[in-house]
């Protein structure tokens, strides 16, 4: 009986430790440009995550610092930002947003959201400047 209990405990421990990675939320590992970076030019934003992403539920928005994406879109006096094409790396862990043309000089806020296999949405934001 003691042996059966020990085996059951070992099996339960293994099952719990192997299931944990499958339940992990994606975390942002890095971005290019990096948070708070000052860059000469920006034609692309790259976000690298810890988990394979669900592309249909993952994306980003960019707006001039101090404005939401919706505020910028509604402000007709401001120049529109270049169009963005979003793709994903072959491993599914990297979101690549490519602009039709380089961003104009200024400070920007990137707001991102990501969903992985656990289906929980995570989000965040960071700022960078184009000199």
Q: For 28-76, how does the pLDDT look when each residue is reduced to its tens digit (9 = 90+)?
A: 999 999 999 999 999 999 999 999 999 999 999 999 998 876 776 666 5
Q: Which helix H or strand E contains 105, and what residues bound it?
A: none
DSSP string, 31-55: EESPTT-EES--SEEEEEESS-B-G
Give which of 66, 63, 70 is closest to 84, Cα–Cα: 63
Cα first-last separation, the chain:
72
pLDDT in the model for residue 107: 96
Torsion angle of C-alpha atoms 111, 66, 31, 38, degrees rounded to 10: 170
Domains of the chain, earliest start first: 25-130 (2.60.40.1220)
| Sheet (strand 59-64) strand order | 38-39, 121-130, 106-115, 59-64
Residue 16: band (very low, low, confident or very high) from pLDDT cuts 50, 70, 90: low
**3-state SS assignment for residue 42:** coil
In this predicted structure, which of 1-5, 24-28, 105-109, 116-120 has the lowest mean pLDDT? 1-5
């Amino acid at each position: 009986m003691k042996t059966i209990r020990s085996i059951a405990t070992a099996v339960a421990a293994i099952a719990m430790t192997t299931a944990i990675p499958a339940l992990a939320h994606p975390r942002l590992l890095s971005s290019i440009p990096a948070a708070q970076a000052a860059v000469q030019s920006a034609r692309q934003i790259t976000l690298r995550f810890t988990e394979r992403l669900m592309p249909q539920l993952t994306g980003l928005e960019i707006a001039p610092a101090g404005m939401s994406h919706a505020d910028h879109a509604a402000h007709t006096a401001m120049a529109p930002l270049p169009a963005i094409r979003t793709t994903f790396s072959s491993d599914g862990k990297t979101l690549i947003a490519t602009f039709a043309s380089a961003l104009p000089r200024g400070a920007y806020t990137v707001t991102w959201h990501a969903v992985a296999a656990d289906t929980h949405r995570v989000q965040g934001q960071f700022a960078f400047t184009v000199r």
